[in-house]
Amino acid sequence: MDLSDPKSISRLLDNPSTSVEIVHALLRRERFTVEQIKRISGNKKWIQNYKLRLALVCNGKTPRYIALRFVKDLYAHDLCIVNRNMRLHPAIRELAEHFLKLRMTSMNAGDRISLAKIASGAVLRIFLKDNDLRVIRAAMGNFRLREAEVERFANEKGLTEQMYGLLLENTKWGNCQGVLKGLAINPSVGYATRRRVFEKLLMNNLIPLIRSPLLDSNHRKLARFILRDRIRRLSAEDQFIMATSHSKELLIELLAVTENEEVMLRVLNNERLNSNDVLTFLNQPLSKQVMDAIWGHERWNDHEPIQALLKRKRKTGKETTGDDPAKIEDKSES
């Protein structure tokens, strides 16, 4: 029999001995025309078979009104498959999503974990907010989960510390800078978790947090401490290279912590720094070595406001190179 010939397939449907398995196999291969699909959906014997009803819903040639009729009968697992099938009409996928959401309220944890691994779109986002951490972990491991959806989750307020912690522990999303930036400014994230976030951020992403109005003073100090500590741990060669940076903020932080005179001179020679930057920098607590470097530098030794400010700072005799996180009070929990 030539299965590419509509007449041959029509004779197959007319044959009373044709089994439902054969019809199901041909449906999955989309061998039937629209009229033939209508005939199949009207066969009371064949339509009692669950696999055939599922094949009708998933067949792109099935008229919409027929597919919609059978969606409500599908199991949750198959509703997930229908919901993510982009070949189907949006109305069919939306109805599958609707019934799936209704059934989620009565599912046990095991079923939700299984579905979280294969779900997509809005359904997957619901699993991300599940009360069971095992379900959230399964959802985060779903390869269909997109970065934009995870970033929305990272910016979600009112979640538990354990939920944010799962995101940090995930091997893929826990190192994604877009996700980490969302967690860094999320007001619901606690001090301990936020510190872990700061430690994973790149330097260029840490710098804006030092002056971010979205963070309180404790968290801004913590961001500065971690940035300066990371700069301090760099080799002299890496600090020397960093001294050519185009980022004023990075240059100022480098100047504040480096103990290498060559690095200091290179930063002070960087044309990105102007007198206003140096004056702003001098308003911070600085070490005597840094103040001496600015005092004797040829670009600034004739600049009256800078020299006057240096004289006042020298009289105070206060020196420091950064904030100690042990002295930063955690007010995020209050």
Give the end-to-end CA distance of the chain in Å, rounded to a whole number: 77
Burial code (b: 16+ CB inside 10 Å, e: under 16) for 87-105 equals ebeeebbebbbebbeeebe
Segment 250-291, tens digit of pLDDT: 998 998 888 888 898 888 888 888 888 888 888 877 778 888
Reported confidence tier of residue 321, pLDDT bands at 50, 70, 90: very low
Q: DSSP code of 227?
A: H
| Cα–Cα dist 33/66, whole Å | 14
Segment 136-192, tens digit of pLDDT: 999 999 999 999 999 999 999 988 999 999 999 999 999 999 999 999 999 999 999
Tell me, letter by letter, the H, E, C secondary structure of 66-112.
HHHHHHCCCCHHHHHHHHCCCCCCHHHHHHHHHHHHHHHCCCCHHHH
| Residue 6, pLDDT above cutoff 70 | no
Q: In degrees, to the nearest 5, what angle opens at C-alpha 33 toward C-alphas 28 and 38?
A: 90
Q: DSSP code of 113?
A: H
pLDDT value for 203: 93
Instruction: Tell me which H or E stretch contains 11.
Output: helix 6-14
- For residues 53 and 73, the answer to whether their CB atoms sit within 8 Å is yes
| Residue 332, pLDDT above cutoff 70 | no
Reported confidence tier of residue 318, pLDDT bands at 50, 70, 90: low
Domain boundaries defined on the chain: 157-233, 247-323
Q: What is the mean pLDDT of the chain?
A: 87
- For residues 96 and 69, the answer to whether their CB atoms sit within 8 Å is no
pLDDT value for 2: 52
pTM, to two decimals: 0.73
Over residues 240-244, the mean pLDDT reads 93
> DSSP letters along 249-272, please?
HHHHHHHHH---HHHHHHHHH-TT
Q: Is the dihedral of CA 114, 119, 123, 124 positive or negative?
A: positive
Reported confidence tier of residue 310, pLDDT bands at 50, 70, 90: confident
Give 3-state DSSP helix, strand, coil % of the chain, rounded to 5: 65, 0, 35
